[in-house]
Amino acid sequence: MSQRLLRDLPEIDLVFPSTLVLEDAVEFLRKETFDGAVNHCVRCAYFAVIIGKKHPTFAGLTLDMESVLLGCILHEAGWTQTPGLYSKDKRFEVDGANAARHFLQNHAEAPRWDKHRIQLVWDSIALHTTQSIAIHKQSEVHLMNLGSFTDFVGPLLPGDYITVNEYKAIVKAFPRGDFMERGKKVMCGFCRDKPETTYDNLVGDFGLLFGYDGKGEGKEEYAKVHEEHSRLMGPLFAAWDECSKYEE
C-alpha cells in the first residue's frame, strides 16, 4: 500500500481529523486518477478544515466533518476511466458522486454511513462546480464547496480565511505538481468523448479554450457543436408554442 498522505501540520497548528474511511478514500482515488489530482483533493480537505473553524457561517454548528472531508477527497473521482465508474452519458461530477457512493457502500465501515450521510457526500461532489447552488445546501455541502474552490485561489479567497503561511504549508506538504496541466487534458477529453455532458457547464469552457487535447486540436469543431447545443431558450419556447395545439 502507498504511504498514507493524511497527517497533522504542526507548523500551522493544524490537526487533521483523519479516519480509516478518509485514509482508504485517498487510496481509492489514487487508483482512479493521478498523483496531482490526489494532492489537489487532499489540499481541498485541509483548506476545508481551516475554513470550517474560521468562517462565521459555520460558527457554533456541529458539522459532520468526515462527510465534508470525504467529499473533498473524492470530488475528482469522476476523472476515472474505470468501467462501471466512468459513464458516457453523465457529467463527470455525477460519475464522481456515484463513485463515492459506491466506495462507501462497499467499505468495511459502511454501517456508519446511513442514507443521509451518503447523500451529503453525493450532493457535495455533484455540486462542487456549481457554487451558486452548493452554498445554499446543507452546511457540509457548502463547506466542501469552499474547500474545493480554495485550492484555486489560496490566500486570495475573500475573507482572509486562509493565510499565506497556511497556504504555503499545505502546498509544501501536498505539491501542486502537474495537476492543472493534466486536469486540463482530462476536462478537454470529456469534451471529445462525451460532449453532450459538457454544453451547459464549465467543462465546455475547456473545449472552447483548449480543444480536445488541451493544445487546441479540435477547438473549432467543438465550438461549432457547443454553439448548436447551448441555445436553450429558442427550442424551449418553440416547444411551448407547439404544445398550444393541445389546449382545449
Q: Residue 196 carries which DSSP code? A: G
Domain end residue (candidates: 154, 176, 198): 176
- Residue 247 pLDDT: 86
Q: Are residues 131 and 233 in the same domain?
A: no
Q: Are 121 and 226 members of one domain?
A: no
Cβ–Cβ under 8 Å, residues 72 and 37: no
Examine residue 1 and state whether it is found in any structural domain, yes or no: no
Residue 49 belongs to some domain of the structure? yes
104 shares a domain with 212: no
Same domain assignment for residues 108 and 203: no
Q: How many CB atoms lie within 10 A of CB 162?
A: 22
Is residue 160, in this structure, part of any structural domain at all? yes
Q: Which residue has the cell 393541445?
A: 246
Are 111 and 91 within 8 A, CB to CB? Answer: no
Do 126 and 23 fall within a single domain?
A: yes
Burial label for 218, CB within 10 Å (0-12, 13-18, 19+), is middle
First to last CA, the chain: 68
Residue 201 lies in a domain: yes
Residue 97: which CATH number? Answer: 1.10.3210
Q: Where are the alpha helices (DSSP H) in the chain?
A: 20-32, 35-54, 65-74, 92-105, 115-126, 131-134, 139-153, 164-173, 179-193, 203-210, 219-229, 233-242
Pair (239, 144) in one structural domain: no
Same domain? 164 vs 125: yes
pLDDT tens-digit profile, the chain (248 residues): 445 689 999 999 999 999 999 999 999 999 999 999 999 999 999 999 999 999 999 999 999 999 999 999 999 999 999 999 999 999 999 999 999 999 999 999 999 999 999 999 999 999 999 999 999 999 999 999 999 999 999 999 999 999 999 999 999 999 999 999 999 999 999 999 999 999 999 999 999 999 999 999 999 999 999 998 888 778 888 898 999 999 87
Domain-embedded: residue 109: yes
SS3 annotation, 11-80: HHCECCCCCHHHHHHHHHHHHHCCHHHHHHHHHHHHHHHHHHHHCHHHCCCCCCHHHHHHHHHHCCHHHC
Domain of 32 in residue numbering reads as: 10-176
**115 and 156 assigned to the same domain:** yes
Q: 44 and 111: one domain? A: yes
Domain end among 150, 176, 202? 176
Question: What's the pLDDT score for residue 233?
Answer: 78
